[in-house]
Copies of this chain bind each other. A is one copy, B any other.
Amino acid sequence: MTAIPDSAGAPGFNDVLAAAARIAPHARVTPVLRSHSLDAIAGCELYFKCETLQRIGAFKFRGAANAVFGLDDATAARGVVTQSSGNHGAAIALACRLRGIPAHVVAPENTPQIKLSAIRDFGAQLVSCAPTIAARDASCARVLAQTGGELVHPYNDARVIAGQGTAALELLHEAGRLDVVITPVSGGGLLSGTSIAAHGIDPSIEVWGAEPEQAADAHASLERGERVTDMVPDTVCDGLRAQLGTLTFPILRAHCAGIGLASEAEIIRAMRLIWERLKIVVEPSAAVPLAVVLRDPSRFAGRRVGIVLSGGNVDLDALPALFALAR
């Protein structure tokens, strides 16, 4: 394992420690759950860090809170701008409400109403745009110019990465020594922060990403040694459709043992297992690490494996369709 890279803009272990102190008054210390029956099925010792129980139902609140509460007062007063209609958008909205500053969330006009109302309920200003990347970027730029606000990207931001790393800090604090830590990977913010936190504590920990086969850009990027940005994701894991960022890719290259893959059916079967055995509602994205372990148990046999259950925001009306994928 290499040391933490100090390449342009990447956060270090101290940034994760500072984030932990900064968000402590606002974020929850989530429980670490264990299950004897899941251990028996997997053939290893599993430690599940339940970020489903984090505020807004996902780890994203950590990074958002670290970014928002780290702003100086003058910058903060102009507000924060972001471009995620998912968990990061809700996290920014809540963090800004807690700090008492404006939040502007740019969201494509085809975003489901349920997501928009969650963000609106936290008091954020919604800015609708056409459902293209160009339109989204243009809207963001316009809002930034109008408000003088601060852009907080969902993952390609050192403050966000450092904040996401605090979940692994807590996991290692509670579980003690771990041989392996696995998180889902999408844009790479969680996995980057986890890598920096885990290797800051113990450089011998194997840090793995977990990704759907049908959205495997991180896997392809690490294999080829360059960011792959032309893949079209086709997965039920709606939290895992982003691509690695320019900031997260080099961190993962330096830190990650690899990216494990799982099929859609394997992911939904793992999600059901978590619901049944841990009694925790997880979204499909959060089940990918367990699916990866169950696909290739020999890789993890007998080891102490930490898993970050990233979030629990799932539409219960969609369950029958999801469960059908696992049959």
Q: How many copies of this chain?
A: 2
A176 within 8 A of B: no
Chain B positions within 8 Å of A31 at CB level:
31, 53
- Are B53's CB and A316's CB within 8 A? no
Return the chain B residue nearest A320 by Cβ: B320
Name the contact of A53 in the complex, choosing from B121, B279, B323 (C-beta under 8 A): B279
Instruction: Tell whether A323 pairs with B316 under 8 Å between CB atoms, given A33-B53, A279-B280.
Output: yes
CB contacts under 8 Å to B, within A304-327, are 312, 316-317, 319-320, 323
Question: Could you give, for residues 265-309 of chain A, a 1 whenever the CB lies within 8 Å of some chain B CB and a 0 otherwise?
Answer: 000000010011011111000000000000000000000000000
Chain B positions within 8 Å of A279 at CB level:
52-53, 57, 280-282, 312
Return the chain B residue nearest A40 by Cβ: B121
| C-alpha gap A236/B259 in the complex (Å) | 43
Shortest CB distance A45–B (Å): 16
Chain B positions within 8 Å of A320 at CB level:
319-320
Shortest CB distance A52–B (Å): 4
Q: Which residues of A contact B (CB under 8 A)?
A: 31, 33, 37, 52-53, 57, 121, 272, 275-276, 278-282, 312, 316-317, 319-320, 323
